[in-house]
Amino acid sequence: MFLSLRAEVESALETALSALDYPTDDLGIEEPPEDVDSVLASSVAFRLAGEAGAPPPQVASAVADEIDADELTYVAAIETQGPYLNFLPSEAYLENTLETATAADYGALEDRKESVVVEHTSANPTGPVHVGRARNPIIGDAVANLLDYAGYDVDRHYYVNDAGRQMAVFTWAYETFDEDDLEGEPERDRPEYDLVRYYRKGNAFLENASEPKVADAEAEIESIMQGLEAGDDEAYERVSEVVDQVLGGMKACLARLPAEFDEFVKETRFMRNGDTDDLVARLKELDEAVYEDEAWQLELDAHGIEKNLVFLRADDTSLYPTRDLAHHEWKFEEYDNAVTVLGEDHTLQADQLRTTLELLGNDTEGLRQVLYSYVNLPEGKMSTRRGTGVDLDDLLDEAIDRAREEVEERMDDRIRDDDLGDEDVERIAHQVGIGAVRYDIVSKQPSKAITFEWEQALDFEAQSAPYVQYVHARCCGILEEAGLDSAADLEGQDVDLESVDADLLETPEERELLETIARFPAVVEEAADDLQPHQIATYTRTFADRFNAFYRECPVLAEDVDPEVREARLALVAASKHTVANALSILGVAAPRSM
């Protein structure tokens, strides 16, 4: 609805400015501050003042006079306040919003008939997922949800680095050492916790063992890498033995968030099918290609990148970026757009990748990268190899435990003694605990550095997931109390939507809530265009504030509420419910029916 109103305002302003012989290149449309009663505003009068030879307020009224609000559907009136033009919403605007938002899929934009692949996480299968990387699945999943909501056909990929040296080291270690050689028991009964001990053991061995022993090990590691490079099945099977087990465990961890994938794309795929070899041949043909210091490289300084891109070693083995180029060309064939969620330390590689893809003749317009900075511990970086860091599983467990305590504590002093059974407590503990972790991460701009601290990550107070989730629970409570099914469209239920009249929603709290609901699709659109899910989180907070104000001032089910007002408010609650449920689903945060 907001999108229609904005379109209407734009065209009305443009017409008015043309009629007055003013330029229309900048309409100065903006959202007014909170204490102003309009939904949209324009500061165009400032810009025109010079040309008009009149002070801005005078220009503003001239423009306002030129627009006939009666001809507009969603605008009731245009008022000037000093130099500003304010567009007030019409009854039809609120009416339509209320009607549209009572549908369960409110906020989902029209199908764009465009596909996009969102690649995220793609952590090396070396061990348990730690919190340092946790931003990736959480942001990535939200970006994918957001694009899905914005009308794209979305696939989620995890790119598996199963061809690098680290995987050869891992495979060698797994085949070489026995349980007896390892230190300690697995921290959890899952394959990645078991196998990571071999990985750490192998790396420690390479650092500390005597020179001849290390040389033997290196020879074995080298042979695995050569086997992979040649695309031979035996080497692939050996590495897969490790990779598939570890990946299975990591998958289970990520599923807890939940972050699910449509496909796990293995790097070795592009070595086995010959794509990497073809790509190397094409790279060698480029003007930028040089053979220098016993390796094939690309000189990219003419394209603003100082660092050469090495794409083939002297022994003819490829490197990660080489395979990633083949991988991306494959993505371009399969999808209209490709989004990658990457740690900020990959910024340079991302630039090299894009530039090289262009040199190879690809159109990279549909390729976009979302960069985020790592979560560090107060004492420094987290590392799988060194075993420093907090496992994501532990964080989630702790979050759930704390949430459970919280639920139980609150049960004691609840006013309404509703029947929360053990299952409900467990459900709420999971929804709130995991929701809080996700929300805390997804609500911040990815470029900001985060230092992990338990207390902060697990704060259930306001401006966190539970604050927003609580609004959803309140909505469901009211709807269910009224005998309605909170999960479904209102249409077809025991509410006569035809007779619901937005006119009856006349308090400022009701109107502001409805205006906030109206903005939701526009927020989805902008967040999707910018690939910024945190905008959705920001919106949920504003929304929750508005809903709580409504909740405080406007009883829905009380005896003394006029039946027609009650129906209208019920419709508003249903609209609120769908809005907050859908916003939370974009963020990947559960929306509890009760808390």
368-397 positions binding RNA, by CB under 7 A: 373-374, 376, 381
Task: Specify the pairing of strand 115-119 against strand 84-89.
Answer: unpaired
Answer for which of 28, 186, 231, 366 binds RNA (CB under 7 A) is 28
Query: Which pair of structure tokens corresponds to residue 299?
Result: 């000189």
**Min CB(415)–RNA separation in Å:** 5
Site for RNA in 477-536 (CB under 7 A): 477-478, 481, 526, 529-530, 532, 534-535
Q: Give backbone dihedrals phi and psi of 155, rounded to 5 degrees, phi first.
A: -115, 145
Chain residues 237-256 in contact with RNA, contact rule CB under 7 A: none
CA 536 vs CA 69, 514, 589: distances in Å? 32, 17, 12
Q: Which is nearer to RNA, 286 or 295 (CB)?
A: 295
Q: Which residues contact 25 (CB under 8 A, 6 or more apart)?
A: none
Choosing from 88, 104, 497, 557, the residue that interacts with RNA (CB under 7 A) is 557
Choose the stretch contacting RNA; rule: CB under 7 A; options: 25-33, 96-104, 243-251, 510-518: 25-33
Q: Which of 67, 72, 432, 523 lies at the binding interface for RNA (CB under 7 A)?
A: 432
Judged by DSSP in three states, 124 sits in coil
Burial of 13 (0-12, 13-18, 19+ CB in 10 A): buried
Of residues 68-107, those binding RNA (CB under 7 A): 81-82, 84, 86
Nearest distance in Å: CB 74, RNA: 17
Question: Of 377, 493, 555, 564, which one interacts with RNA (CB under 7 A)?
Answer: 555
Question: What Rg do the C-alpha atoms of the chain give, in angstroms?
Answer: 29
54 contributes a contact to RNA by CB under 7 A:
no
Is the distance from CB of 403 to CB of 428 less than 8 angstroms?
A: yes
Residues 32-51 that bind RNA (CB under 7 A): 32-33, 36, 38, 41, 43, 46-47, 50
Choice from 444, 487, 504, 511 touching RNA (CB under 7 A): 444
State how far the Cα of 542 lies from the Cα of 538, in Å rounded to an integer.
7
Q: Which is nearer to RNA, 163 or 246 (CB)?
A: 163
Given the complex with RNA, which of 107 and 592 has the nearer CB atom?
Answer: 592
Could you say which of 75, 131, 325, 428 contacts RNA (CB under 7 A)? 428
Nearer to RNA, 178 or 422 (CB): 422
Region from 110-118, 144-152, 231-239, 473-481 binding RNA, contact rule CB under 7 A: 473-481
Continuous segment of H or E residues that includes residue 196: helix 191-208
Judged by CB under 7 A, the residue of 61, 493, 585, 594 near RNA is 594
Q: Which of 196, 271, 319, 370 binds RNA (CB under 7 A)?
A: 319
- Cβ proximity to RNA: between 163 and 568 the closer is 163
Near RNA by CB under 7 A, which window of 198-206, 242-250, 341-349, 485-493? 341-349
Calpha distance 480→483 (Å, rounded): 5
Q: Does 366 bind RNA (CB under 7 A)?
A: no
Q: Cβ distance 37 to 88 under 8 Å?
A: yes
d(CA 127, CA 121) in angstroms, rounded, equals: 13
Do you know the residue count of the chain? 595
Contact 2, 39 (CB under 8 A): yes
Beta-bridged to residue 297, according to DSSP, are 290, 310
CB of 316 to RNA, least distance (A): 10
- Single out the segment in contact with RNA by CB under 7 A; choices: 10-18, 164-172, 206-214, 274-282: 164-172
Angstrom distance (rounded) from CA 104 to CA 393: 33
- CA 309, CA 302: separation in Å to the nearest integer? 13
In the complex with RNA, which residue's Cβ is closer, 201 or 541?
Answer: 541
User: For 30, phi and psi rounded to 5 degrees?
Assistant: -150, 165
Nearest distance from C-beta of residue 278 to RNA, angstroms: 19
Instruction: Report the Cα–Cα distance between both ends of the chain, in Å, rounded.
Output: 31
With contact defined as beta carbons under 8 Å apart, do 404 and 426 qualify?
A: yes
The torsion region of residue 436 among left (phi > 0), alpha (psi -120 to 50) and beta comes to alpha
Per rule CB under 7 A, count of chain residues that contact RNA? 101
| Among 4, 115, 226, 548, interactor with RNA by CB under 7 A | 548
Nearest to 161 by CA among 122, 192, 196: 122
- Of 166, 276, 340, 369, the residue at the interface with RNA (CB under 7 A) is 166
In whole angstroms, how close is the CB of 164 to RNA at the nearest point?
2
Interface residue with RNA, options 89, 128, 140, 466 (CB under 7 A): 466
Least Å distance, CB 119 to RNA, is: 13
Interface region with RNA, contact rule CB under 7 A, candidates 170-178, 243-251, 258-266, 445-453: 445-453
Q: Which of residues 177-206 bind RNA (CB under 7 A)?
A: none
Q: Is 24 in the site for RNA (CB under 7 A)?
A: no
Which CB, 51 or 278, lies closer to RNA? 51
E strand intervals along 46-119: 75-81, 84-89, 115-119
Residue 84 CB, shortest distance to RNA, in Å, is 3
Window 112-141: residues binding RNA (CB under 7 A): 124
Examine residue 551 and tell whether it contacts RNA (CB under 7 A): yes
Query: Which ranges in 506-562 belong to alpha helices (H)?
Result: 508-530, 534-553
Among the listed residues 311, 160, 161, 165, the one whose alpha carbon sits nearest the alpha carbon of residue 224: 165
**Which listed residue (221, 224, 390, 403) binds RNA by CB under 7 A?**
403
Q: Could you say whether residue 221 binds RNA (CB under 7 A)?
A: no
Using CB under 7 A, pick the residue from 2, 172, 199, 470 that binds RNA.
Answer: 470
Structure tokens at 576: 């609120």
Cα separations in angstroms, 249 against 342, 521, 523: 22, 37, 36
> With CB under 7 A as the contact rule, which of the stretches 3-11, 15-23, 408-416, 516-524 interacts with RNA?
408-416
Six token digits for residue 107? 């906020």
Residue 51 has which token pair?
């040309």
Note whether 552 binds RNA by CB under 7 A: yes
463: phi > 0 → left, psi -120 to 50 → alpha, else beta; which? Answer: left
In the complex, what is the shortest distance from the CB of residue 425 to RNA, in angstroms, rounded to a whole number?
Answer: 9
Residue 473 in the binding site for RNA (CB under 7 A) = yes
Q: What is the dihedral angle through the alpha carbons of 105, 109, 113, 119, rounded to the nearest 10 degrees?
A: -90
* H helix count then E strand count, the chain: 20, 14
Which of 545, 564, 565, 585 touches RNA by CB under 7 A?
545
